[in-house]
């Protein structure tokens, strides 16, 4: 966990995080300005939040020189510390986005009609897995891929997932979660939504495994 936060501190020194952080606050403001239907806002949020999480992870990865990261990782315990740090980044971003898109609007009381407990669970879990998917995608597309290529790949992945939605929401990852959330009014935790979230979680694990295998292959 310490290594993840040290990477974040190094990235903050290069100030490259300013733009995505401002963009995230713009997203939250745009989704929850005035009275907001929770299903619509969370459904839209699930589509957007992964791209933002991927953006942040790519930016952090590019901002931290690999030499500095190697020194920190060695001090923290080598490869296991590095792998833990990657998981911490994915989980912390997922928690952060869940807080910003679900907890914060609830606390601010801007959701109309007021969501039920099941609505909140559905929105919270959906946002969490969608953000985790984006963060894991950012990890897989991080160094040594160039930033422009990484962003293009993120867009391509989301376009591809959107194209799959008409066939089956269940295999469309966060876009499928978004779709299921938007149609699940009245039955918050539908079987379709649960399936889409479970498949997205599997994608997260697959992306982390893929990233590790690619890193091992590159040497």
Partner 1 sequence: MLRASGLTVARGRRVLLEALDLEVGAGEVVHVAGENGCGKSSLLRVLAGDVAPRRGEIRRPATWAYVPERMALPDSLPAQRWLGMLGAADVDLPPELDRRCGALSKGQLQRVALTAALHRPGGLVILDEPWSGLDVTAREWLERGITGAAAGGAAVLFTDHGRTGGLAATTRLVIGDGAPRRERVVATPPPTAAVRIVLARGEERREHQVTTSERDAVLAGALSDGWGVERVEAID
- Residues near partner 1 (CB under 8 A) are 6, 9-11, 13-15, 63-68, 70-75, 77-79, 82, 215-219
Q: Considering beta carbons, is residue 10 or 210 the nearer one to partner 1? A: 10
Distance (Å, rounded) from C-alpha 85 to C-alpha 36? 36
Least distance from partner 1 to the Cβ atom of residue 213, Å: 10
Question: Whole-number minimum distance, CB 73 to partner 1, in Å?
Answer: 6
For residue 127, give Cα distances in angstroms to 18, 115, 201: 22, 15, 11
**Residue whose CB is less far from partner 1, 10 or 195:** 10
Shortest distance in whole angstroms from residue 68 CB to partner 1: 5
- In three-state secondary structure terms, 195 is helix
Whether the CA torsion 175, 176, 177, 180 is positive or negative: it is: positive
Closer residue to partner 1 in complex, CB, 69/119: 69
Whether the Cβ atoms of residue 2 and residue 84 lie closer than 8 Å to each other: no
In the complex, least distance from residue 58 CB atom to partner 1, rounded to whole angstroms = 17
- Of 75 and 146, nearer to partner 1 (C-beta) is 75
Ramachandran category for residue 173: left, alpha or beta (phi over 0 → left; psi -120 to 50 → alpha): left
């Amino acid at each position: 966990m310490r290594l993840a936060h040290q990477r974040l501190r190094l990235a903050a020194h290069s100030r490259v995080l300013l733009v995505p952080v401002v963009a995230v606050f713009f997203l939250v403001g745009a989704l929850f300005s005035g009275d907001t239907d929770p299903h619509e806002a969370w459904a839209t949020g699930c589509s957007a939040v992964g791209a933002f999480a991927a953006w942040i992870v790519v930016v952090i990865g590019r901002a931290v020189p690999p030499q500095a990261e190697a020194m920190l990782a060695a001090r923290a315990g080598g490869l296991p510390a590095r792998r833990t740090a990657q998981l911490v980044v994915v989980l912390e971003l997922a928690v952060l986005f869940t807080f910003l898109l679900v907890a914060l609007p609830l606390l601010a009381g801007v959701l109309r009609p007021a969501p039920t407990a099941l609505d909140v669970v559905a929105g919270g879990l959906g946002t969490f897995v969608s953000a985790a998917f984006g963060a894991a995608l950012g990890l897989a597309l991080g160094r040594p891929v160039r930033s422009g290529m990484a962003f293009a790949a993120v867009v391509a992945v989301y376009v591809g997932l959107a194209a799959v939605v008409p066939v089956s929401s269940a295999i469309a990852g966060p876009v499928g979660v978004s779709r299921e959330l938007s149609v699940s009014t009245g039955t918050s935790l539908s079987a379709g939504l649960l399936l889409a979230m479970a498949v997205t979680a599997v994608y997260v694990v697959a992306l982390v495994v893929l990233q590790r295998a690619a890193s091992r292959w590159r040497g």
